[in-house]
Copies of this chain bind each other. A is one copy, B any other.
Amino acid sequence: MANEGIHREWASRIRGHEESGHLVESVVEILDCAALCFTEMGFQGTSIDDVARRLGATKGRIYHYFRSKTDLFFEVHREGMTRLMDAVTAAMDAGGTGREKLQRMVEAHALTMMQNVAYEAVVVQGVHLHRLSATTPEQRVILNELMDVRHQFEQLFVQVFHEGQADGSVRETADTSLAVKGILGAVNWMAIWYRPRADESPETQKAMAVEVAGLQIKGVT
């Protein structure tokens, strides 16, 4: 995995509450509830009490693990980005022509959006908050990291796009960045409208991801 090093370093470091590289269960529970709340009600629309209530606890529990509401939001965002990065880098590293890689990457992106709607909806929300509520200098650092990773994420697609143009599997375009932003927009938008159905099978999800990716890739080949 060529790009693992790029993002692994910034994952999982909430006040040191981790063991063997994984977040402890208590933290995951909190993040899950927070993701749902933020997704349904927005950052500022969610109170810590809301998250606590959903957790079946009180704020004491949350403030034991997270310094502030902003830190909590950032951590959910970070986790969402990590899952996207993992999925897309894996798809990217499996070889093939530029076009084949691109198709797989977009599929992976779409599938991850569907399988982690709550987290990814927070990531999409986070795009809005440019520097909002980054009060402490420490938070600014984290915010900058998150923005960097989003940029790196986009660059993965740009890079493979160019590979594809080099090997002739992807069409020449007026503006590569614009083309990539279009593709990523189409997929990111899924966080807005996609909600899993009760009876939805993994096969159906996969089929949707392939369909969405196919339409986008067709546009650039």
Among B44, B175, B181, point to the contact of A43 (Cβ < 8 A).
Answer: B44
Whether, in the assembled complex, A57 has its beta carbon less than 8 Å from a beta carbon of chain B, the answer is no
* Complex CA distance for A44 and B186, rounded to whole angstroms: 26
Which residues of the other chain, B, contact A202 by a CB distance below 8 angstroms? none
CB neighbours of A185 from chain B (8 A):
185-190, 192
Q: Mark A148-186, 1 if CB is under 8 A from B, else 0.
A: 000000000000000000000000011100110111111
Most buried by B among A125, A178, A185, A216: A185
CB contacts (< 8 Å) of A212 on chain B: these are 178, 182
A94 within 8 A of B: no
Nearest CB in chain B to that of A171: its residue: B218
Please indicate the chain B residues that have their CB under 8 angstroms from the CB of A197 in the complex: none
Query: What residues of chain B lie closer than 8 Å to A189, measured between beta carbons?
Result: 181-182, 184-186, 188-189
- The contact of A132 among B42, B188, B218, by CB within 8 Å, is B42
CB closest chain-B residue, reference A194: B181
Given A173-B215, A174-B211, A218-B218, A42–B182 Cβ distance below 8 Å?
no
How many chain copies does the complex carry?
2
**Residues A45 and B133 in contact, CB atoms below 8 Å apart:** yes
Instruction: Check: A127 CB closer than 8 A to any chain B CB.
Output: yes
Once the chains bind, are A192 and B127 in contact (CB under 8 Å)? yes
Bound Cα distance from A178 to B41, whole angstroms: 25
A219's contact among B42, B178, B192, B218, by CB below 8 Å, is which?
B218
Find chain B residues with CB under 8 A from A181 CB.
189-190, 193
User: What is the CA–CA distance of A179 and B189 in the complex, to the nearest angstrom?
Assistant: 12
Known: A40-B132, A42-B44, A173-B211. 11 other contacts (CB 8 A): A42-B43, A43-B45, A44-B44, A45-B129, A175-B211, A184-B189, A186-B186, A189-B189, A215-B219, A216-B219, A218-B219
- Interface residues, chain A, CB within 8 Å of chain B? 40-45, 121, 125, 127-130, 132-133, 173-175, 178-179, 181-190, 192-193, 207-208, 211-212, 215-220
